[in-house]
Amino acid sequence: MEGWDPNTKSTLTQIPLLTTKAGPRDGAAWTTRLKEEYKALIAYTQMNKSNDNDWFRISAANSEGTRWTGKCWYVHNLLKYEFDLQFDIPVTYPSTAPELELPQLDGKTQKMYRGGKICLTVHFKPLWAKNSPRFGIAHALCLGLAPWLAAEVPILVDSGMIKHKDDATSTSES
Amino acid sequence: MEAELKEMLNDLDSLKQSLPDPSNHASIHKLQSRVEHLTKLAKSAPVRRTKVQDMSAEVVDSNPYSRLMALQRMGIVENYERIRDFSVAIVGIGGVGSVAAEMLTRCGIGRLLLYDYDKVELANMNRLFFRPEQVGMTKTDAASQTLSDINPDVVLESFTLNITTVQGFETFMSSLRNKSFCPNKEGSGVDLVLSCVDNYEARMAVNQACNELNQTWMESGVSEDAVSGHIQLLIPGETACFACAPPLVVASGVDERTLKREGVCAASLPTTMGVVAGLLVQNTLKFLLQFGHVSPYLGYNSLKDFFPTMEMRPNPQCSNAACLERQKECLLAKPAKDAAIRAKMEAEALLVPEGPLHDDNEWNISVVDDEELERTDATSSDALPEGLTRELPPADEFQKFSAAEPTTTTFDDIEELRKQLDALNA
């Protein structure tokens, strides 16, 4: 965890760790895991709200809890940039991390695989592997997506690849 | 079209003869030669070959299998035609997988199952197999198109899906189980699975499926700097599975560079990928047709032309439950297997005429069997010599810890939890 800012570190320590090693094909054990995922997500969302650092919405898109959809946003130069967020829980979860997707940014940055999967290889995958199965979705958002947005959104905005929604509507109207 | 052109030539000929002025003959002659050229082109237009009932060893230009059947005559393969009974599944139709598929198709493999969810892109053109006009097609469709043209005898089944998703994985598993091609076969419906994928998640998914199905598979990979690669044979329970040895990243804690995948612009070379595909299919042919030595692991370092080989035993603390089950089965079956091997060796020894190898043995040199020594070594790997203690707890300590801890039941209804999160999301 060297090289991480103290803020992220202290946030991370407050997200409850998970204990059940179970994937979507493990029946009752997966339900137990899913409960732990919810508890960690609830705790993390509450923490963000109380620290005035709310930055995502996520909820299960199916009853099995294998597909998740929502939104995430990042504030750059006092403007809020919001993106759709989606991912599947892989069959080999939690040995392998979920592949977080921002489909609206597909093709706009090199730090992304096909289909809008953000690149987590260097900054996040090793951490996930070392902490499996104690990390869950909340940890993936905190350590995977948040730093990615912080690194990529400013570059995408400055290079003109993405525009703020107010700018976009005003230019299209004129 | 050929008939049409021939008529045109005839017409030109009669026109030439009917014209009294010889000054036009030159231009008519020019026209004639152009039509002749077109006729030649039309003759070489693609013709699809028809299916072949039996593989023949007859040496004629029109026999697609004569050179392969010659392997029997040369004493390399006992029965080459058996290849038509085999099914091979190839997961990932990229730089390695597509070339491996073409090689197996040209070898006349019985059935190929192809899995990929990607489309052909112009960025793939530095590799073999796919052609620029196939850009935009799914890799499975493009591959089936080319492969069925090359050899219509091969039964092709293609699956455009992502095996790491729950649904894709189920389809993957049931397609491997399907025995309609060879109903009498033992075990699953395929003889070998080849993993030619470019990322850790997909390899772990193939590993999971093969461990559960007790399916032998081969893994392949090319490094992201395109100058080295490897192939590995994985027999569930018998050799290390892909989860048995954690990737370098986790084990050493060094910066992760090893398992990055293409897309975020990894380098690739048609040469390295071709070499690795060649090594993979060569090992596949040796495994299926039972000739030579099947390599358990073969590395390829192109910078130094170094080809390391090694064997990896399964990890008794592997994190994959299915792997541990296969290991148990393997241990139970081991005495019978060893006895069979010994019986075979004895039978072979009987064929060799008995008698001293050397007439005199002035220095009393004798060969000692070291098998017994090795075995005691392997079984007592957990025990330490007297006086030594382990510095770190064993790797499965975490499991014990979590089992001992009583599960707290504050919110234990999943609907309740979902509502709570939705309330926060509102």
CA–CA gap between residue B92 and residue B110 (Å, rounded) = 19
Q: What is the pLDDT confidence band of residue A130, given thresholds at 50, 70 and 90? A: confident
**According to the model, what pLDDT value does residue B56 have?**
86
Q: What is the pLDDT confidence band of residue B246, given thresholds at 50, 70 and 90? A: low
Which tokens sit at A88? Answer: 């599947």
* pLDDT tens string B46-94: 677 888 888 888 888 888 999 999 999 999 999 999 999 999 999 999 9
Q: What is the pLDDT confidence band of residue B28, given thresholds at 50, 70 and 90? A: confident
Check A125 against B249: CB less than 8 A apart. Answer: yes
CA–CA gap between residue B77 and residue B71 (Å, rounded) = 6
- At A144, which amino acid appears? G
Which tokens sit at B58? Answer: 């007859």
Residue A137: phi, psi to the nearest 5? -55, -45
Q: Mark out chain A residues that contact chain B at CB-CB < 8 A.
A: 19-21, 24-25, 31-32, 34-35, 38-39, 41-42, 45-46, 49, 57-60, 64, 66, 70, 88-92, 95-96, 99, 110-114, 119, 121-122, 125-126, 129-130
Report how far apart, in Å, the C-alpha atoms of B118 and of each of A115, B201, B401 are: 10, 15, 42
Kindly report whether the peptide bond that precedes residue A94 is cis, defined as omega within 30 degrees of 0: yes
Length of chain B: 426
**According to the model, what pLDDT value does residue B51 have?**
87
Instruction: Give A114's contacts in chain B (Cβ within 8 Å).
Output: 118, 263
Check A88 against B165: CB less than 8 A apart. Answer: yes
**Nearest chain A Cα distance for residue B297, angstroms:** 24
The model carries a pTM of 0.80
Which tokens sit at A96? Answer: 């392998």
Q: Name the catalytic one among A41, A97, A102, A119.
A: A119
Q: Does residue B209 carry a pLDDT above 90?
A: yes
CB atoms within 10 A of CB B330: 17
**According to the model, what pLDDT value does residue A48 have?**
93
Global ipTM = 0.84
pLDDT average, residue stretch B251-275: 66
- Residues A85 and A72 sit within 8 Å (Cβ to Cβ): yes
Kindly report whether the peptide bond that precedes residue A24 is cis, defined as omega within 30 degrees of 0: no
For residue B309, the Cα-to-chain-centroid distance in whole angstroms is 18
**According to the model, what pLDDT value does residue B247 have?**
61
Which tokens sit at B204? Answer: 């772990």
Instruction: Give B256's contacts in chain A (Cβ within 8 Å).
Output: 121-122, 125-126
Q: Does residue A17 carry a pLDDT above 70?
A: yes
Minimum-distance CB partner of A129 among B207, B249, B257: B249
B230 has which bridge partners?
Answer: B221, B299
Which tokens sit at B16? Answer: 């030439």
Whose CA is closest to B231, among B97, B76, B84? B97
Q: Does residue B397 carry a pLDDT above 60?
A: no
CB-based contacts of B329, cutoff 8 Å, min separation 6:
B214, B237
Q: Does residue B100 carry a pLDDT above 60?
A: yes
Q: Does residue B256 carry a pLDDT above 50?
A: no
pLDDT average, residue stretch B188-203: 94
Beta strands in B277-403 (DSSP E): 297-301
* pLDDT tens string B158-176: 999 999 999 999 999 999 9
**According to the model, what pLDDT value does residue B26 have?**
84
Residue A69: phi, psi to the nearest 5? -135, 160
Check A92 against B166: CB less than 8 A apart. Answer: no
